[in-house]
A and B are shown apart, each in its own frame.
Chain A
Amino acid sequence: MGAKTGSTWRLIDPGHLRAHENMAWDAALLEVMSQTEGEPLFRFEEFRPRAVLVGFHQDVEQEVNLAYCRQHGLEVNRRLTGGGAIYEDESQVGWELVAKRDDPALPWDRRALFEVCCRAVAAGLKELGVEARFRPKNDIEVGGRKISGTGGTDLGDALLFHGSLLVDLDVETMVRSLKIPAEKLKDKAVSSTKERVTCLAWELGEIPPRPVIKQAILNGFRKILGIQFVPGDFSAQEKACYRKLAPYYASADWVYQIRKKTATSMVTAMRKTPGGLINLAVSVNVPAKRIKQALITGDFFCIPPRAILDLESRLKDLPYEQETISEVIQEFFRKAEIPGVTPEDFLHLFQEAKKFFSGKGETASGG
């Protein structure tokens, strides 16, 4: 879908807010948009203090290291939108669109919406000198490393779509505050995460002033979606709705509303091959038999190196079935090469890890 012209959106930049305040604004803006003939709006979303946000359907206790968050003053809250738990520090620049689902500036198809919005932010980042691009299905990446995730939701005829751009990431805090496979790697947790995510500071060697970052993002949306922005504020109706909703989004009823009887299992496996040692750390949604996140590390040599990151991205949310995983691994080995490592080595690792689903997280080894 190409750029369209003539769309004018209200721009709201409220500055840093607490987690529950941002969540309540999300809910209020979406609710008012669904109840009125509302004009589309674009909001920057920033967090202070730092926070961990789970996806709408996630169980906080399964996803967040609550003791760590308490000790380090991180707030914990729940997004209205889908996807996984994320760490939001004060440096990140969040952006969001709230509009009618049939807004003429936006594609109706959801996959296309993810793509054009990611391309818009990537275009903005290019202006800052960062070679960012859309990575299907939901991310913005730089050289295979994720710099922004995205997510969305709808209510009636309104939608909310947002993402958060990493600006100056404290990886240690991210890894310790979230329950992610990286924590299984212990001393390698930070270094392996740094190979998988990036931020403006690392890409540019400096942090551009915040107004410059924000303007670049707006320019990206102007270029790709043809949106013009007019600075504005929350409306009286939105403020009234926010005041009504804010206490709920600060409550345990909202934050802890989803408690799964079922566990996410974190399993690891290891295999020695002629090409080196391979470690697999994978979190699994056990009842749905799906991979949540897989991390493949070790001292093997992958050509091109980013292929392994693409493979991890491809494995996300896939059914944990031999046939499906085998297909993805075969596809990976058609595009990439790891001297001394075969597709069977990878498949074997997934089979080994699978034996340990029912436990609390065990280690398998083989090879």
Chain B
Amino acid sequence: MQIAGYEFPEELYYERNHFWARVDGAEVTVGATDYVQQIAGEILFFQAPPLGKVVAQGKPFASIESGKWVGQVYAPVSGVITAVNTRLEDDPSPINADPYGEGWMVKIKFEDLKELSNLLKPGTPEFSEWFEAELARNA
């Protein structure tokens, strides 16, 4: 789904700092949204967490950098890091080129499926309300 020039695949879940989660069994794959990569510009660094790190929903666990600004990567769900896209540590350009595909950052084995209800789905009033507010800030 395209909203104001930003792509949001409908099958994904979104957390309010603009990171997405794709549910696959007991794991979620996580990455930055098209909005993040457009707003940040060219991302020059991605620092991944170690495997096994315990992360909490809505809390930062990794970082990206563009234009001398270090931004945090926030966890859409609580759980344990089970995989890291280490390729991005050498060359983070897929975060810009393909944020929902090759630009995936980590996989998290989640603790509690119920946390998904705290995330946003495109097409819902909650999603629209949140994203319109975000757009208004940047206007």
A residues near B, CB below 8 A? 55-57, 80-83, 102, 108-111, 114, 137-138, 149-156, 258, 260-262, 285, 287-290, 317
Complex: A258 Cα to B47 Cα, angstroms: 9
Considering only residues 79-107 of chain B, those with a C-beta below 8 Å from chain A are 89-93
Is B90's CB under 8 angstroms from A56's CB? no
- Given A56-B63, A262-B90, A288-B92, decide whether A110 and B137 contact each other with a Cβ distance below 8 A: no
Q: Does B45 contact A (CB under 8 A)?
A: yes
- Given A57-B47, A288-B44, decide whether A110 and B90 contact each other with a Cβ distance below 8 A: no
Q: Does B5 contact A (CB under 8 A)?
A: no
Total interface residues on B, CB under 8 Å, equals 23
- Given A56-B65, A138-B68, decide whether A108 and B137 contact each other with a Cβ distance below 8 A: yes
Considering only residues 37-65 of chain B, those with a C-beta below 8 Å from chain A are 39-40, 42, 44-45, 47, 60, 63, 65
In the bound complex, residues from chain A placing their C-beta under 8 Å from that of B68 are 55, 81-83, 114, 137-138, 149-152
**Total A-B residue contacts, Cβ distance less than 8 Å:** 75
Interface of B is mostly: mixed
In the bound complex, residues from chain A placing their C-beta under 8 Å from that of B60 are 155-156
B residues near A, CB below 8 A? 39-40, 42, 44-45, 47, 60, 63, 65-72, 89-93, 137-138
In the bound complex, residues from chain B placing their C-beta under 8 Å from that of A56 are 45, 47, 63, 65, 70
Residue of A nearest to B137 (CB): A108
What are the 7 closest A-B residue pairs judged by CB atoms, nearest first? A287-B90, A57-B45, A83-B68, A153-B70, A82-B68, A151-B68, A82-B65
- Given A109-B138, A317-B44, decide whether A287 and B71 contact each other with a Cβ distance below 8 A: no
Residue of B nearest to A57 (CB): B45
Complex: A102 Cα to B68 Cα, angstroms: 20
Pick from B69, B72, B93, B138: contact of A82, CB below 8 A.
B69
In the bound complex, residues from chain A placing their C-beta under 8 Å from that of B65 are 55-57, 82
For this complex, 18 residue pairs linking A to B, each with C-beta atoms less than 8 Å apart, are A56-B45, A56-B65, A56-B70, A57-B65, A80-B70, A82-B68, A108-B137, A110-B67, A110-B69, A137-B67, A151-B69, A153-B71, A155-B72, A287-B90, A288-B91, A288-B92, A288-B93, A289-B91
In the bound complex, residues from chain A placing their C-beta under 8 Å from that of B138 are 108-109
In the bound complex, residues from chain A placing their C-beta under 8 Å from that of B89 are 260
Residue of B nearest to A292 (CB): B44
Is A152's CB under 8 angstroms from B42's CB? no
Interface of A is mostly: loop
Interface centre among B45, B66, B138 (most CB of A within 10 A): B45
Pick from B45, B67, B92: contact of A111, CB below 8 A.
B67
Pick from A108, A153, A155: contact of B69, CB below 8 A.
A153
In the bound complex, residues from chain B placing their C-beta under 8 Å from that of A57 are 44-45, 47, 63, 65, 70
Pick from A81, A82, A288: contact of B90, CB below 8 A.
A288
Complex: A153 Cα to B68 Cα, angstroms: 8
In the bound complex, residues from chain A placing their C-beta under 8 Å from that of B137 are 102, 108
In the bound complex, residues from chain B placing their C-beta under 8 Å from that of A83 are 68
Contacts A110-B40, A317-B42 known; 12 new A-B pairs at CB < 8 A: A56-B45, A56-B65, A81-B69, A82-B45, A82-B69, A111-B67, A137-B67, A153-B70, A156-B60, A260-B89, A285-B44, A288-B92
